[in-house]
Amino acid sequence: MHSRRTVLTTAAAAAAACATGAAPARAAGAKIGRQPDSPRSAAPAPSAEARLRGLIARMTPEEKVGQLFVMRVYGHSATDPDPDDVAANRKEIGVANAAELIDRYHVGGIIYFGWAHNTREPHQIADLSNGIQKAGTAQRVPVPLLISTDQEHGIVARIGAPATLFPGAMALGAAGSRGDARTAARIGGEELYAMGIRQDYAPDADVNVNAANPVIGVRSFGADPQAVARLVAAEVQGYQDAGVAACAKHFPGHGDTDTDSHIGLPYIHHTAEQWERLDAPPFKAAIAAGIDSIMTAHIVVPAFDPSEDPATLSRPILTGILRERLGYRGVVVTDSLGMEGVRVKYGDARAPVLALKAGVDQLLNPPDLSVAHGAVLKALREGELSWADIEAKLLRILLLKDRRGLFTNPYTTHEEVDRVVGIRRHLQQADRIAERTTTLLRNDGGVLPLSRRRENKLLVVGVDADPPSGTGGPPTTVLANTFGELGFTATALSTGLTPTQTLIDQAVAALRERDAVVVATYNVTADSPQRQLIDALLATGKPVVQLAVRNPYDIAQLGGVKAGLASYSWTDVELRAAVRVIAGQRKPTGRLPVPVMRADAPDTVLYPIGHGLSY
């Protein structure tokens, strides 16, 4: 281990090199994705702990409290963002840019968002990361920042092309391969690392046992707790093999709710026994795999906390269950403190204090940082929080940073980006993995595969759901273009989530001049106009192929459809794979990771877990 003097000297030299416009080279012998300390190794050497305790001892109270926060910031650059970004920062945070944020509040981490203009393209992301680390090492007590993002893949991806994008969790659940899950996480982690991001808020460890879940759904690997646990552990290993801290979310389990915690406070009514059987296995597997961090959920679990505080603020849940019963010793981070589920009961000043008292280490993205930072300092001055507890939390955070190599080399280079991000080998691997995820749910009368000899002229209609930034789309165009690459003549017509009668008539008229139609559906309900569209297309007598591009439950509402598939997302990599299956270029091998229930009898299974046809 390096002495504190060596570490700080290295950081200062790196900052000086960055100031000249060139990011410093990686430390000798270091490689992307291979850190010297395995996350599954024994406890850090005493010298590391002693060095970091010495660092904490040099900090002021304001600096110590700042290190507990992970904050958003607008802009593509750490020091010179666009005027609109400066205005947004001044309005929401009271600073102009990331460098000022770090100088004023000494935050321990920054989270990247597309909507905050942090993730335009890989070189820009790397430069932003370097600028943030330069600001961190320029502080009175130099401390690198833990830069994070939500790169779950599938429907949640903050960084788009040309980075490699993999199928999301439920699609990987349909493939059922631990090797594929680990490979996707490792490659995704290597690309994040190359852009200066050392923590990914993934994988999602929720078990999606509620088909009406509005916030998790396909972000989960499935409804079988043991299957989800195996894939969660595989992704933890993949990310952390790549040198990136994984983060299992959302503890104690957000899979059985019909309320979105972004806009409300969900209740989970599982008994302790049900939680142990349904929700706990993935988190236990993540802990056994050596996960660096776990994210809390803004959900109420009365069986564990009769006060009905959200789990993020619940000491019985975070300390009693996560720390004491499950034995977890890593970093605990809140879900965003700007979400309604954590704000509704106590407000923005009390929530950070109560979260720390409950057992949280990192406070993620409070709506008003000055209020949250001031409230924590006030609670420390008044004795509600103890400095010993805060310093223990800070030590856990610094040990994670140390384990991820941030004290020895927090920087990256354009050369590393070009060597790793979106390279052909990674893109090919993503396509191969995606081909194992598409699930054929129904194929009455052998409608599939479509053949250029029988159905050369295709119409593609349906939703053009807004894909994550940079992940491709719109879906109907991607589908039609991919059919075209395979030799079909395909035309796209977007009919949207709620097709009007005019659009339905246009689609029917267009189908009369073609041999078959592929319909991209999105969360079809009993009264959805998407059903009217499909009924009208079926009435033409032409082959109709339905592809669910989000939740796989659509087929239950579409009894007349003879051919139905699930891609589990509308991102390019999954849509292209689905086209190759529909066209017979690849056999469907995906199997449902969740049950599909009958629409007219919700307690009766239409297609069970494991269902999937082939040809």
User: Each residue of 441-485: pLDDT tens digit?
Assistant: 999 999 999 998 898 999 999 998 665 555 566 899 999 999 999
Q: Is residue 429 part of a domain?
A: no
Active site residue 368: no
Q: Is residue 407 part of a domain?
A: yes
The answer to whether residues 392 and 470 belong to one domain is no
Active site residue 335: yes
Q: Is residue 614 part of a domain?
A: no
Beta bridge partners of 249: 204
Note the pLDDT of residue 472. Answer: 61
Q: Is residue 122 part of a domain?
A: yes
Task: Count structural domains, the chain.
Answer: 2
8 A C-beta contact, residue 599 and residue 470: no
DSSP H stretches of helix in 421-528: 424-435, 475-485, 501-511
The answer to whether residues 448 and 384 belong to one domain is no
Question: pLDDT tens digits for 168-202?
Answer: 999 999 999 999 999 999 999 999 999 999 999 99
User: Mean pLDDT across the chain, nearest whole number?
Assistant: 91
The answer to whether residues 410 and 447 belong to one domain is no
Q: Is residue 566 part of a domain?
A: yes
CATH label of the domain that carries residue 494: 3.40.50.1700
Q: Is residue 181 part of a domain?
A: yes
8 A C-beta contact, residue 173 and residue 227: yes
What is d(CA 134, CA 136) in angstroms, rounded to the nearest whole number? 5
The answer to whether residues 173 and 305 belong to one domain is yes
Q: Is residue 428 part of a domain?
A: no
Q: How far apart are the first and last CA of the chain?
A: 57
Q: Is residue 432 part of a domain?
A: no
The answer to whether residues 347 and 316 belong to one domain is yes
Q: Could you say which DSSP state residue 320 is in?
A: I
Whole domain around residue 378: which residue ranges?
4-420
Boundary of a domain, candidates 361, 390, 420: 420
The answer to whether residues 372 and 513 belong to one domain is no
- Least confident segment among 21-25, 347-351, 475-479, 595-599: 21-25
Boundary of a domain, candidates 392, 420, 448: 420
The answer to whether residues 160 and 191 belong to one domain is yes
Boundary of a domain, candidates 385, 420, 455: 420
The answer to whether residues 219 and 353 belong to one domain is yes
The answer to whether residues 106 and 26 belong to one domain is yes
Residue 32 or residue 411, greater confidence: 411
The answer to whether residues 404 and 467 belong to one domain is no
Per-residue pLDDT, averaged over 117-129, amounts to 97
Question: pLDDT tens digits for 482-540?
Answer: 999 999 999 999 999 999 999 999 999 999 999 999 999 999 999 999 999 999 999 99
Q: Which of 204, 335, 361, 554 is catalytic?
A: 335
Scored b (16 or more CB within 10 A) or e, 188-221 reads bbbbbbbbbbbbbbbbbbbbbbbbebbbbbbbbb
* pTM, two decimal places: 0.90
The answer to whether residues 260 and 218 belong to one domain is yes
The answer to whether residues 31 and 96 belong to one domain is yes
Q: Which of 103, 123, 260, 262 is catalytic?
A: 262
CATH label of the domain that carries residue 198: 3.20.20.300
Question: pLDDT tens digits for 582-591?
Answer: 999 999 999 9
